[in-house]
A and B are shown apart, each in its own frame.
Chain A
Amino acid sequence: MAELPPDQQKILDEQKAQCPFCKIIKGEIPSKKVYEDDKVLAIMDINPAVKGHILVMPKEHYPIMPLIPPEIFEHLFLCTRDLVRAEKKAMVTPSSNVFIANGGAAGQQSSHFMLHIFAREKASELEVLQLKNVEQDKQKVAELTNMLQHNLKIMLKDRYAKFPIPGDTSAQPAAAPHTGVSTLQGQEQLAQLLEANPQLKQAIIEQPGEVKKLIQTNPQLQQFFAGVDVDLLSQKLKEQQSPKEKSSQQHELDKATEQFSGFKPGGKTEEKMPEEPKPPEEPRPPEEFIRAKDLTDKQIMALLEEKEKLRNLLLQDPEQLKGMIPSNEKLRVFFQEADFEKIKRLAKQVDEKHKSPAKDEDIPEKIEQVKDLDDALSRYI
């Protein structure tokens, strides 16, 4: 299973400890077993939809389908195929269904991923599986179709490489060597994906260094950007931008990072900043990127006094701020080799001095915009 962040891993471990199906697998809870091997278990459902209703599950606890590793996935569905055949033979039925629910809204009732096999004698006995056609918003459907046409082949590129269409020269090997710019076909596919995802495109244009660092730490992104020179791509995307698009996107990015650009020489942005309260007690170094470790406590307090929103974030949600630091260059430079707890303590002192308790509504739109950038990048993690 793909490595999860520690907080998610903790939730998963807690789920596993309480999962009744994990207990069935261990033999702690009795069940009517139909088939078992080292990776998969099939049991009868105690509340069957039809006679012979079987549940098939991987022995390892996976809450949802996308978390199942490919080798287990393959084994699970090879067994499922044979179990469908077995069930139809045992129940002497002409038809069957395999039913999977991902998510509570879809009817998933257990945190342990499983699929259902139903032997079907008559369509009328399980009409809930009948889909009714409903008039849909044509524009929404068109957007979805377009998105799928662009994205599915990219998402499935490893599986496509296993079963390429004969004569199709666009099939790429699963892991292309990192020799520089990818094939023209690969570039076009990437360009199409970026057009469909403007925030990712913007991140590549404005912060190619950040995107490259993110790619280095993430195996899935590495696969996706295999053979792609991010700097060259960034240059090409910049050239493609119209001046108007450039200025509005620059404006958005400036708004997002303005929180940390207060020391820019000249310090002007396209949007007028709201009036800042009192000037700092001590003069600040006029560098674009400030490092907290280079400042005295008083200078840090002066900065925190000005930057109420940063102060509030330090006090209210330091974990969120810590999460943002790696992907934001100015934050990263500021907190580099700095004592985070000390800065937090200084923020508290400033806050107490101003007697202005942090409020949720004070968290700025700008931080939300930086967060949006993280969301756009994390979608591809």
Chain B
Amino acid sequence: MEESIKTKIKGTLVYEDAVCFVIVPEKQATAGHLQIFPHASYTDVESIPKDVFVQMFFVASYGATALFEGLKAHGTNIVLRDGKESNGVYDYVYIDVVGRMQNDNVMNLWQPKQLDEATQAQTQARLKEEAFYVGKEIADEKKEIVLDDDQQEAVDEGNNYKIKNFYRMP
């Protein structure tokens, strides 16, 4: 079994299960700051198994509740860091859970961008196309999707019809 990245993360361990662990980091943004890591090292979300991803967020949710009750925080932020450009401190995928107080200036809200309607529509179309695969198993990088029997039959029928028509052409 691959060694856990636990040994490479600086902080105090406060929870651990078979798929992930929680630490109070050595360097903190607020008094209530947690980090949640999967045991295995993943550098992007795509490689994280579904159950690990879901478990990390369950743990984050309970961690946020613990901060809310224990620290009497006014709110909590949960931020998944995926990749080097995600403003994280590690190359691994992990989650920051931060207890917030009113006007603490920790993570202020962003300035919204003004994008024109055409750009938004184009972006929506691209996102919808990729979102087609949400909930479907992806067999490999070529996006060969796994069809169930009814779907496969419909595809085969369609292909047969096209071939028949091809032979009819003069």
Contact B76 A156 (CB under 8 A): no
- Partner of B65 from the list A66, A78, A129 (CB cut-off 8 Å) is A66
Q: A82-B134, A159-B17, A159-B55 are in contact. Are A48 and B113 (CB under 8 A)?
A: yes
A9, chain B: closest CB distance, angstroms: 20
Per-residue interface assignment for chain A, residues 238 to 274, with 1 indicating a CB less than 8 Å from any chain B CB and 0 otherwise: 0000000000000000000000000000000000000
Q: A106-B77, A129-B107, A136-B30 are in contact. Are A123 and B70 (CB under 8 A)?
A: no
Contact A34 B127 (CB under 8 A): yes
Give the chain B neighbours of A73 by CB distance below 8 A: 54, 57-58, 61
Binding site for A on B (CB under 8 A): 12, 14-19, 22, 24, 27-34, 45-46, 48, 50-51, 53-55, 57-59, 61-71, 73-87, 89, 96, 98, 100-104, 106-113, 115, 119-121, 123-124, 126-131, 133-135
- A–B complex contacts, Cβ < 8 Å, 20 sampled: A47-B112, A47-B113, A52-B127, A54-B127, A73-B61, A83-B131, A86-B131, A95-B86, A96-B82, A96-B83, A98-B78, A100-B77, A100-B79, A102-B77, A104-B75, A105-B100, A106-B76, A131-B89, A133-B29, A152-B59
Contact B29 A98 (CB under 8 A): no
Contact B110 A126 (CB under 8 A): yes
Give the chain B neighbours of A164 by CB distance below 8 A: 17-18
Q: Which of A143-151, A293-301, A326-334 sits within the interface?
A: A143-151
Contact A86 B82 (CB under 8 A): no
Q: How far is the CA of A147 from the CA of B80 in the complex (A)?
A: 24
Chain A residues 18-36 with CB under 8 Å of chain B are 32-35
4 closest Cβ pairs, A-B complex: A103-B75, A95-B83, A106-B75, A47-B112
- Partner of A152 from the list B66, B83, B101 (CB cut-off 8 Å) is B66
Q: Which of A82, A123, A128 has the most CB of B within 10 A?
A: A82
Contact B131 A122 (CB under 8 A): no
Contact B130 A49 (CB under 8 A): no
- Partner of A94 from the list B24, B84, B108 (CB cut-off 8 Å) is B84
Give the chain B neighbours of A52 by CB distance below 8 A: 123, 127
Contact B48 A81 (CB under 8 A): yes
Give the chain B neighbours of A235 by CB distance below 8 A: none
Give the chain A neighbours of B83 by CB distance below 8 A: 94-96, 120
Interface of B is mostly: mixed
A363 at the interface (CB under 8 A from B): no
- Partner of A144 from the list B31, B75, B79, B96 (CB cut-off 8 Å) is B31
Chain A residues 43-97 with CB under 8 Å of chain B are 44-45, 47-52, 54, 65-66, 70, 73-74, 77-91, 93-97
Binding site for B on A (CB under 8 A): 32-35, 37, 42, 44-45, 47-52, 54, 65-66, 70, 73-74, 77-91, 93-109, 120-123, 126-134, 136-137, 140-141, 144-145, 147-149, 151-153, 155-156, 159-160, 162-166, 379
Contact A85 B87 (CB under 8 A): no
Residue of A nearest to B60 (CB): A100
Q: How far is the CA of A111 from the CA of B152 in the complex (A)?
A: 43
Give the chain A neighbours of B29 by CB distance below 8 A: 131-134
- Partner of A84 from the list B18, B45, B77 (CB cut-off 8 Å) is B45
Give the chain A neighbours of B32 by CB distance below 8 A: 144
Give the chain B neighbours of A42 by CB distance below 8 A: 131
Q: A96-B45, A129-B87, A145-B12 are in contact. Are A81 and B124 (CB under 8 A)?
A: no
Residue of A nearest to B21 (CB): A165
Q: Which of A49, A95, A123 has the most CB of B within 10 A?
A: A95
Contact B24 A144 (CB under 8 A): yes
Contact A77 B70 (CB under 8 A): no
Contact B134 A35 (CB under 8 A): yes
Q: Which of B63, B80, B129 has the most CB of A within 10 A?
A: B80
Contact A83 B79 (CB under 8 A): no
- Partner of A120 from the list B34, B85, B100 (CB cut-off 8 Å) is B85
Q: How far is the CA of A65 from the CA of B27 in the complex (A)?
A: 26
Contact B45 A137 (CB under 8 A): no
Give the chain A neighbours of B82 by CB distance below 8 A: 84, 95-98, 120
Q: A84-B45, A164-B18 are in contact. Are A127 and B87 (CB under 8 A)?
A: yes
Q: How far is the CA of A166 from the CA of B19 in the complex (A)?
A: 11
Give the chain B neighbours of A54 by CB distance below 8 A: 127
A151, chain B: closest CB distance, angstroms: 6
Contact A48 B115 (CB under 8 A): yes
Q: A82-B135, A106-B77 are in contact. Are A165 and B18 (CB under 8 A)?
A: yes
B26, chain A: closest CB distance, angstroms: 9
Q: How far is the CA of A104 from the CA of B102 in the complex (A)?
A: 8
Q: How far is the CA of A147 from the CA of B73 in the complex (A)?
A: 14
